[in-house]
Structure 1
Amino acid sequence: MNAASPDICVVGGGIIGLATACELAGRGLRVTVVEAASIGERAAAGVAAGMIGPVSEVDVSHPDLTRFALASHRDYPAWIEQIEAVSHIRTGFDRTGTLWVAVHRDHVAWLEHLRAFQIDRGLNTIRLTAGEVRAREPLIAPNTSGGLLASDDWQVDPRRLLGALIEVLAQYHGTLLQQVSVERVERCDEGWAVVAGGERGRTRIEARSVLLAPGAYGTGLLEPLLRDTGLRPVKGQVARLRGEIDVHHVIRTPDVYLVPRADGEVVIGATVEEMGFDGRVTAGAVHDLLREARRALPGIAELELVEVRAGFRPVLRDHLPAVGRIDEGLFIAVGHYRNGVALAPITARLLADLICEGVADQILAPFNPLRFAQPLVANAVPT
């Protein structure tokens, strides 16, 4: 099977791959996206809760990543507005904010540290007494000793967002190939060839450019191109409940988060496990999640448990993403770890600038993929 030659082939149909594909297609490029499974089946975003916390969800030990997250946060409302306008699909974007609560004595100092960090970054964080917490969320645990209202921490439903991005890609006349597993990329007269196999037989897609956005599953693709990325999966288990419960904010403690949706779903997460691609859902992990969630919000005990699922976050050796060019016409976006949903808008926009205009924004410098040694591909061109 030979697919018609696009301007760019995007390998990976997760949140980063689809977001960038839509940005490129919206700028007039002919785009083909190749995904090894069905959309959402293997993507970390298919399991993720979708919290958009520019500080809460980012490792504060990496100031460059925090700056990147803050820039993406500024892009988010307009980005979602555009996606919903083109797709006519509601993404569950909600700016109600996040309520951090202290349900253990040792949580108080941790929340004070978080508040100081957020204020230092210009984010809107308000200290609340126990009474003020319960005034906002009456069902919160009675032993709560206080909390923080982080009004700049938002949420989106990643599953709805993935569906909306698929529709945006279709509206922009992009092509989506699912159940097609990419084996390698190689040079060709056109520029690059993506060689793949799947249910429909062998596929070879030739394009001027290729973007690799394979998520946690990209080790085999990256090894011939870059050295020592250390790409690995970090397992996360998440529970989903459903029922009637009057909760409006995302509720967080240092041990658990609860994300209420408008349709009655409550997402509880998440574990962080170095278990390779062990996709088992374990009794101990589910027990721990539900125990900590019930300590914060006792009323969840009456809700129906409708799903427990494990996913794999892609992380690199230095816990920073790799976003940029690794050779002429060959680009990469991988290693966003827990922050793929939060970083999708800025990753897509700046990658599209780089691909279309050859201009790399300075904010991308810490995430240059060439930090993982000189590429092994021939005739490499530095960014």
Structure 2
Amino acid sequence: MIALTAPSHIAILGAGLMGRLLALELAREGHRVEVFEAKGPEADGAAARVAAAMLAPLAESAITEPGVVRMGQYGLNRWPQLIAQLDDHVYFQQNGTLVVWHRQDAADANRLCGLFEKNRRINPSLPALETLTSDRLNEVEPALQGRFNQGVYLPGEGQLDNRQLLATLEKTLTRLGVTFHWHTPRETTDFTPGTAHQPDLVIDCRGLGARTEWQDLRGIRGEVVRVHAPEVTLQRPTRLVHPRYPLYIAPKEDHIFVIGATEIESDDMGPASLRSVMELLSALYTVHSGFAEARILEIATQCRPTLPDNLPAVRWLDERILQVNGLYRHGYMISPAMLDITLQILRTGSTELAASFDVAVHDTADA
């Protein structure tokens, strides 16, 4: 595999989150970067546009592997550095995560809290969760005054505004001289890197668009609602424990909230079903009655690129074509770690970071 030397000519396939982050770092290092994207600059073909962009390693530890949790912790420290390089403001906050439940769901909540504690024993660097009585819950999140009798607070967790981030990444990249080819889908087979008039390296970050070559990729469908709720003042991401329909609410600036719950094994990118939306909004109302007057700005669906083990991976198709994929539902949480793993591979030909996060690095050329 090649070790990159500047200035090289690099083609990146896909202008979603990973594609833009890699383009930013490589352009800042002096490389000539071109980005080929099947859709437009709004990232309307990327899972990154629809995501809630929560950075919640302890909360996600209940459903993922320790390596992903460690990547999430790494990302919480790395995101402020990445955002500081950008031309415009990106909302970022680290006020922790609140988990609440109704009395009838206490057994499920107890099981969830048991998983959190188990995972803290596996990874002692995770912060201790705080069990909240009704009075303490009202102190931590006054907006929920009197609505729940108990909850848990996961300190240090965060979130950012994905739409702001994607927009200012494009603006910053344009200023740095990155060339975007919008509405220009490309396969890796369209390039012969290292030959005359071709890029020196191709990096494939297309997510599900790479399934023609990474055939065990599958889609995990998610559905979210974006609302404007002036009467609601939640200060941090809030999760509602529910046996069938667990809900998350991610507050953004100006009383904008991103609400989601569904995770469906499906490649269907059609509109959300009436049943899903009704259940989601009904659960939302039980968290805060102020959502009854919210204005629905958008109901969106997207499929997240997922490998069979639900873990991310990097692989060389040959010595000049590198693929990064499989970020599943953890894109914003783990993308800084995946970015630095990829950069380390490109700069040195190897990576210690991948081993520390249990990220697989494959070489199909040797298979």
TM-score (norm 1): 0.84
Is 1:66 aligned to 2:58, yes or no? no
Relative distance call for 1:302 and 1:187 in structure 2 (3 A) is closer
Q: Deviations over 1:217-263 (max 9, x none)?
A: 2211x25xxxxx51011111100110312221211123101111121
Letter in 2 for 1:37: K
- Structure 2 unaligned regions, length at least 5: 1-6
Residues in 2 aligned to 1:360 and 1:69: alpha-carbon distance in whole angstroms? 18
The aligned counterpart of 1:14 is 16
Query: What is the CA-CA distance between 1:159 and the residue it aligns to?
Result: 0.9
The aligned counterpart of 2:277 is 286
Is 1:212 aligned to 2:204, yes or no? yes
The aligned counterpart of 2:134 is 130
The aligned counterpart of 1:239 is 225
Relative distance call for 1:96 and 1:70 in structure 2 (3 A) is closer
Please give the residue correspondences for 1:151-170 in structure 2 after superposition, counting only pairs within 5 Å.
151-170=155-174
State which of 139, 145, 152 in structure 1 corresponds to 2:143: 139
Relative distance call for 1:331 and 1:271 in structure 2 (3 A) is same
The aligned counterpart of 2:52 is 49
The aligned counterpart of 2:110 is 109
Residues in 1 aligned to 2:136 and 2:114: alpha-carbon distance in whole angstroms? 20
Residues in 2 aligned to 1:6 and 1:166: alpha-carbon distance in whole angstroms? 21
Q: Deviations over 1:41-60 (max 9, x none)?
A: 01111100110112323565
DSSP 3-state at the match of 2:185: strand
Letter in 2 for 1:90: H
Query: What is the CA-CA distance between 1:162 and the residue it aligns to?
Result: 0.6
Residues in 1 aligned to 2:46 and 2:178: alpha-carbon distance in whole angstroms? 20
Q: CA RMSD in A?
A: 2.3
Query: Is the CA contact (8 Å cut-off) linking 1:51 and 1:342 kept in structure 2?
Result: yes
DSSP 3-state at the match of 2:78: helix
Relative distance call for 1:141 and 1:250 in structure 2 (3 A) is same
Query: Is the CA contact (8 Å cut-off) linking 2:354 and 2:361 kept in structure 1?
Result: no
Q: How many residues are matched?
A: 349
Query: What is the CA-CA distance between 1:327 and the residue it aligns to?
Result: 2.1
Q: Deviations over 1:28-73 (max 9, x none)?
A: 1111111100132011111001101123235655222222322223
Query: Is the CA contact (8 Å cut-off) linking 1:68 and 1:363 kept in structure 2?
Result: no
Residues in 2 aligned to 1:79 and 1:114: alpha-carbon distance in whole angstroms? 31
The aligned counterpart of 2:3 is none
Query: What is the CA-CA distance between 1:362 and the residue it aligns to?
Result: 4.4
The aligned counterpart of 2:239 is 252
TM-score (norm 2): 0.88
Is 1:335 aligned to 2:322, yes or no? no
Identical amino acids, percent of aligned pairs = 27
The aligned counterpart of 1:344 is 335
Query: What is the CA-CA distance between 1:78 and the residue it aligns to?
Result: 1.9
The aligned counterpart of 1:311 is 302
Letter in 2 for 1:353: Q
- Structure 1 unaligned regions, length at least 5: 194-204, 224-228
Letter in 2 for 1:309: A
The aligned counterpart of 1:202 is none
Relative distance call for 1:61 and 1:151 in structure 2 (3 A) is closer
Query: Is the CA contact (8 Å cut-off) linking 1:235 and 1:278 kept in structure 2?
Result: yes
